Amino acid sequence: MIELDDRTLAIRRQARAWAQELKPLALELDQDPDAIHRHLDVAIVSYLTRMTVPPEFNPDPVVVDGRPFYGTGTLERVVFAEEVAVGDAGMLLAAPGPVMSGVLVDAMGDEQQKKWFYSRIMEKPTWTFFALTEPDRGSDAGAMNTTLTPDGDDHFVLRGAKRYIGNAARADLGIVFARTRPGPLGVTAVLTETSAAGFTAEPLETIGLRGLRITAVTLDDVRVPAGQVLGRHLRATQRGMWSAVQGLNRLRPGVAAFGLGIARAAYEYVLDNRRTLTTAERHRLDRLGLRLTELRQLIWRSAIAVDDNEPAAGYLASAAKARASRLAEEATLEALGCFGPGARLDHPLLDKLARDARGVEFMEGTGNIQKLNVFTGLVQGHLRRD
């Protein structure tokens, strides 16, 4: 059984305390996703604006119990994400910061690109985006239609469309995946500013995770300086989708923790709001509590594997994410069932949790994709069948 060290326990306690500030804001953000602009001074949002910025670019980290925290470690991030998601998953997703783009910049960017990106992040609260998914094609790199073509010696041009991109409508900059030529080595990633001519982001209506402000992005001859193409200093096999997959492996344990937080929030809501339970309800709730603990251990194990660069890291992350998606949905439905037929109307926060839970399935790959990845790990001997 994995146990946390003193350092990680410290950020866990701090995150749990901060998360209490989010609960009163959850329904407000659900009603108005732009409410995030009114709450940038909330302590946890302030931390999220700088979370994952490396020490060399972050002179003012959060300090807890005399220790600086940068959020660059996967285990640290998953412990933090669970606690924040218990407070409100929507606020976690709506907050400005480097998030997914920062992971890829860290993996693929040269020193100049990192300095440019992180200086923008540290200058003021800055939203970013990560544009991989396309209409009718999802995240299938082999079918990607967005193109990046040379335009003289110093610029490239982006043409295409992306869909279901979080925060793009409120972001200042982010990453776009595009194709430079046919084949698996033809996919690359570029840093893009939303102020560039031809870049359009239109918010889409959603019923859950509304704080994320999911958008459709159109790229109509968007000019990109050559210096903003990521991975130019790397070998061709280390660019594009290879780096994207490595980045997703680092992010998936966090998404799993996010789902765990939603499930735990529903579980704790029942404990706080049902004074008496039938024997059958108590049995089901006890079983749910055990499942939460089991999933937490799997998530921590996957995070440690990522931090240690273990061969099984990506497969464990997929297993954790697939299980978290399922548990988030089942836990919220179980909680609703404890309050009768009118639960969604009588308990709007629980209704929000149930709607948010559905969104976890579609973050960083659906369950079918994750299960295929786990199967690959088993076949290749990276995962034990027990």
* Exposed / middle / buried, residue 262 (Cβ in 10 Å: 0-12, 13-18, 19+): buried
Residue 233 pLDDT = 84
Which helix (DSSP H) or strand (DSSP E) does residue 364 occupy? Answer: none
Q: 269 vs 30, 324, 350, 351, CA distance in Å?
A: 18, 18, 8, 11
Residue 349 pLDDT = 97
Burial readout 323-345 (b: 16 or more C-beta within 10 A, e: otherwise): bbbbbbbebbebbbebbeeebee
Q: Largest Cα–Cα distance in the chain?
A: 73
3-state secondary structure of 245: helix
Distance CA 250, CA 236 (A): 21
Residue 187 pLDDT = 86
Contacts of 5 (CB under 8 A, 6+ apart): none
Distance CA 152, CA 170 (A): 30
Q: For 20-124, where are the alpha helices, taking DSSP H only?
A: 26-31, 43-48, 74-94, 99-108, 111-123
Residues in the chain, overall count: 386
Tens digit of pLDDT at every position of the chain (386 positions): 999 999 999 999 999 999 999 999 999 999 999 999 999 999 888 899 999 999 999 998 999 999 999 999 999 999 999 999 999 999 999 999 998 899 889 888 999 999 999 999 999 999 999 998 999 887 776 788 999 999 988 999 999 999 999 999 999 999 999 998 887 778 889 999 999 999 999 999 999 999 999 999 999 999 999 999 998 888 777 776 666 677 777 889 999 999 999 999 999 999 999 988 899 999 999 999 999 999 999 999 999 999 998 988 899 999 999 999 999 999 999 999 999 999 999 999 999 999 999 999 988 878 888 888 898 888 888 887 55
Distance CA 312, CA 238 (A): 19
Distance CA 26, CA 161 (A): 31
Please measure the distance between the N-terminal and C-terminal CA atoms of the chain and give it in whole angstroms: 16
Closest CA to 168 of 129, 113, 134, 115: 129
Distance CA 94, CA 34 (A): 9
pTM exceeds 0.75, yes or no: yes
Residue 114 pLDDT = 96
Q: What is the DSSP letter of 204?
A: -
Q: What angle do CA 331, 91, 265 make, to 5 degrees?
A: 20
Residue 373 pLDDT = 86
Q: For 95-210, where are the alpha helices, taking DSSP H only?
A: 99-108, 111-123
Residue 244 pLDDT = 66
Residue 166 pLDDT = 94
Distance CA 126, CA 36 (A): 12
3-state secondary structure of 70: coil
Residue 243 pLDDT = 67
3-state secondary structure of 54: coil
* 8 Å CB contact between 343 and 336: yes
Distance CA 300, CA 3 (A): 9
* Exposed / middle / buried, residue 382 (Cβ in 10 Å: 0-12, 13-18, 19+): middle
Q: What is the DSSP letter of 365?
A: S
Helix count and strand count (H, E) for the chain: 12, 9
